[in-house]
Amino acid sequence: MPPHFQLDEDNDVIHDAEAFSLATESAYQAAYSPLRLYLRQLVVDKVKRENPKLAAIQHRYRSPELDRLFVFSGMLGNHSFFMIALPFLHTFGMGAFARGLTFVVLWSIYFSGFVKDYISAPRPASPPVVQITRSPAHTLEYGFPSTHTTYAVATIVYISHFMLNVWHISTVWVGLMWICGVTIVVGRIYCGLHSFIDVVGGIVIGIIEALCFVFFFDRLDALMLSTAGPLYSIAIFYFAMSSIPRSLDPCPCCIDSFCATSVTLGLSIGYWIHARLPFLWHTGQSDAISWDSSLTLTQNALRCLITIVLVVAWKVGSKPFIVSMVKYLVPDYLSQVSSEECSDDSSAKDSDSDCKQD
C-alpha cells in the first residue's frame, strides 16, 4: 500500500518514515553493492539515533510563531520560489551570472537527488518527530542529504563570491543573506523533515558544488556557447540522467533531477541560439537579454508580469501537452512504462498483490 498521511491535533502531518520503505532489508542486500549498503546503514543508524533528539528539540522550542517562520523560510528554498525568481535574473540582463546561478540551483537538485537515491536512507520517523510542512509529498523522498540545505548553501556561497569579489557590496548585505540561509537550514531540523546528518550532508555538497561553479563555470559557459555547444549540453544531460542510481523505493528524486537538468539543457541551448541572432541583442550584448532602461516603470512592470505569466503557463501546460503528444506519436510507450514500473514495485515488495493495471 502507498504511504498515507494523517494530521495531529495541530493539523501537522504525521507520516511514519518506516512506511515509506517498500523494500525489505534482504531486497537491499540483493540489489545494492557492499559499499552502498555500508553507507546506507551508517546513515540509517545515525538518523535513528537522532530521532529522540529531534523530538526533544521540538518539544522544547516549538511555538506557533516559529512554525510560521520556518515554514515560510522553507518556501524560500523550494522549487516554486526558484521557478519564479530565477527567470528575472535573465530578464534583468545579468547574463553569465544568471546562467551560473541557475546552474548552481538546479544542479544542486540533481546532486542531492543522486546521493539520496544512492544512499536510500529514510527521513526522521514521525512520530515521535512531527513533520511540519505545506507539502506532504516531500516526505516521500529519502532524507540524506537535505535538498533545501544543498541549494540554499550552494546559492549563498555562489552569490557571496560575486557580492564580495565582483560587485564589492557591503558585507552587511552578505551577512543578511547568510542569516536567511541559516534560517532555511535550521528550519529543516525544527520542522522534523531532516536529521542533523541530512543537513550536514547538504552543507558539504552545497559548498563543494558552489566552489566548482565559481572556479570553472566560465570555461563551461564558453564551451556551451561554442559552435558545438548544444552537442556538449546534450551529452552532459544524457550522462547525468543515465548515471542516476536505481533505488528500490518510489522516491521522486529522479523526477526532480530530470526536471531540473532539463531546464539547464533548455537554458544552454536557448542562449546558444540567442548568441547567433544579432537582431535580439538590442545593446550589442550577445550572451544576455538586455534590460531596456528607456522603458517606463509601467512598461518594465508589464515585462516582469509577462515573464511570470509565461513561466507559470509553461509549468502548468507543458506536461499535459507533451504527454498527449507522446500518446499520439507512440501510443504504447506510456502503458509499457507503467507496466514495467508496476513490475519493479511488485518485485521490490516480493508481492504483486498491489500491482494493478489502470
Adjacent-strand bridge partners of 6 = 14
Q: Which of 76, 92, 80 is nearest to 307 (CA)?
A: 92
Q: Which of 200, 223, 196 lies closest to 99, judged by CA?
A: 223
Q: 291 or 328: which carries more pLDDT confidence?
A: 328
Look at 2-16, 42-56, 128-142 and tell me which has the smallest mean pLDDT. Answer: 2-16
Which three cell numbers, joined as nine digits, stand for 256? 526532480
Q: Is the pLDDT of residue 16 over 50?
A: no
Three cell numbers, residue 58: 521540538
Measured on CA atoms in the order 209, 211, 213, 217, is the torsion positive or negative? Answer: negative
Q: What is the mean pLDDT of the chain?
A: 80
pLDDT in tens, 67-122: 889 988 888 767 778 888 888 888 777 888 989 999 999 999 999 999 999 998 88
* Confidence band, pLDDT 50/70/90 cuts, at residue 288: low
**Partners of 267 in the beta sheet?**
none
- Write out the E strands in 139-285: none
**What share of the chain has pLDDT > 70, as a percent?**
79
Query: Is-contact 114 257, C-beta < 8 A?
Result: yes
Q: Would you give the distance in Å from CA 49 to the centre of its chain?
A: 27
pLDDT of residue 345: 44
Please say whether the dihedral angle defined by the alpha carbons of residues 110, 115, 118 and 120, taken in this order, is positive or negative: negative
- Residue 282 is predicted with a pLDDT of 61
Among 179, 112, 95, 100, smallest CA distance to 151 is for 112
Q: pLDDT tens for residues 313-337?
A: 888 888 788 778 777 777 665 454 4
What Cα–Cα distance (Å) separates residue 163 from each residue in 171, 173, 177, 261, 338? 8, 9, 11, 26, 48
With b meaning 16 or more CB within 10 Å and e meaning fewer, what string describes 214-250? beebeebbeebbeeebeebbeebbeebeeebbebbbb
Bridge-partner residues for 131, per DSSP?
13
Grid coordinates given for 310:
509565461
DSSP 131: B
Residue 195: pLDDT above 60?
Answer: yes
Residue with more model confidence, 144 or 6: 144
Show the cell assigned to 228.
558545438
Element spanning 34, H or E: helix 34-61
Single-letter amino acid, residue 211: L
- 280 Cβ neighbours under 8 A, 6+ residues apart: 274, 289
Q: How confident is the model over 210-261, as pLDDT tens digits? A: 999 999 999 998 898 899 999 999 999 999 998 988 888 777 778 888 888 9
- Collapsing DSSP states into helix, strand and coil, what is residue 97? helix
